Amino acid sequence: MLSVTILGVSGSIGSSALQFLRLHRDTFTLKNIALRNDWRSALDIRAEFGCQAVGFEDSRAAEMFVRHAPNTRSRVLSGPEAASELASEPVDVVLAAISGSAGFPSVLAAIMAGNRIALANKESLVCGGAPLLELAASKGVPVIPVDSEHSAIFQCLLAGTRQEVVSLLLTASGGPFRTASIEQMRRATPEQALAHPNWRMGLKNTIDSATLANKGLELIEAAYLFGCDEGKIDVLINPTSVMHSAVCYRDGSMVAQLGRPDMRVAVGYGLSWPARLESGVEALSLSELGALAFETVDPDKFPSLGLARSALRAGGDGPLLFNAANEIAVKAFISGKLGLMRIPALIETCLERGAGRFTGGLPDVPVLCREALDFCRAELAGQS
């Protein structure tokens, strides 16, 4: 049996993982789960999977959990360290699926403990950068990407050697505003931004997909994961989200991974790697699909992608700042305090004004993230 810890178990990725585990009860056992405050989901998951430990970031949620499961045999942890504590318990694989930079400490803890990681939480890699992967390599910890694009590239890279790779192609859906005008995007409401045409995801990831800041984060993630220069990572829109990404080789071959837009495939591969197990997702029907369409990204509608490239080229704290500014801007957009097109504007301002203030080593990253978030919050307040 392979033991699993899921960090962010009550979220969209967590739910895909649980669906996958239900198909493979003879192969996996769910040992630990961590989440923020959704104690009702935790009660159901614990009852179904019999986890040994449950960790809540919010201590009141932990109290509610215990109150509703007074005879639970699961250990219950609470507080900001709970996810990291569980991440460092030895298991075969830790699925890192907390959203945002809040996921960094638990990813670091899992690596320090030598636990293999299935990485959905792209923000932790954007903030930790190459040193996070160097630490993982030094500890012999495999980091298997779960983002569908990075899972695709990871799989496509099995077709050749790194020396044979010329470039990577990241695909994007284009989100709900692919065909909208800039004027329509300026007036976009959170409800419109949350209506993603292809993927069902958590709140932040869905807004990030509407601005393509998500593709910016993914570009940074791909550069680190695959040791690839930003200039050698192309981004193209594939509106149906069936071509998940591709690798171009020097002999002119392009190796792509295709499938239905369903995260159970990438999550399942992240958990079962190097094996492939049934995910419950049917193979794509190319005859039903008929055609594969592609479009280039309009930089005026989606400036976040170019800003991510600049942040990556600038190096240092550029990616961390990009992420922090985006996190603050997305929260403000969701609460109606900021227009959609002002998300990239805030990122740009923060990159310009904050660069160089948030540098340090890996152990400093949680504090640097907090400071960068405070800085961006202040920049936002100064604008209104």
Ligand X SMILES: NC(=O)c1ccc[n+]([C@@H]2O[C@H](COP(=O)([O-])OP(=O)(O)OC[C@H]3O[C@@H](n4cnc5c(N)ncnc54)[C@H](OP(=O)(O)O)[C@@H]3O)[C@@H](O)[C@H]2O)c1
Q: Catalog residues that contact ligand X under the rule CB under 6 A.
A: 8-14, 34-38, 57, 83, 97-99, 102, 120-123, 147, 199, 201-203, 205, 263
The rounded Cα 238 to chain-centroid distance in angstroms is 19
Report the residue number whose CB is nearest to ligand X. 11
| Cα Dmax for the chain | 63
Judged on CB neighbours under 10 Å (0-12, 13-18, 19+), 99 is buried
Q: Considering the complex, what minimum distance in angstroms separates the CB of residue 315 from ligand X?
A: 22
Nearer Cβ to ligand X, position 41 or 349? Answer: 41
Dihedral angle over CA of 8, 12, 15, 21, nearest 10? -80
Nearest to 236 by CA among 227, 228, 244: 244
Would you say the C-alpha torsion 134, 350, 121, 32 has a positive or negative sign? positive
Q: What is the CA radius of gyration of the chain?
A: 20
Nearer Cβ to ligand X, position 72 or 349? Answer: 72
Nearer Cβ to ligand X, position 96 or 136? Answer: 96
Nearer Cβ to ligand X, position 93 or 102? Answer: 102
Q: Considering the complex, what minimum distance in angstroms separates the CB of residue 203 from ligand X?
A: 6
Q: Considering the complex, what minimum distance in angstroms separates the CB of residue 148 from ligand X?
A: 6
Q: Considering the complex, what minimum distance in angstroms separates the CB of residue 42 from ligand X?
A: 8
Q: Considering the complex, what minimum distance in angstroms separates the CB of residue 106 from ligand X?
A: 7
**Residue with tokens 């399942």, as numbered in its chain:** 268
Nearer Cβ to ligand X, position 68 or 357? Answer: 68
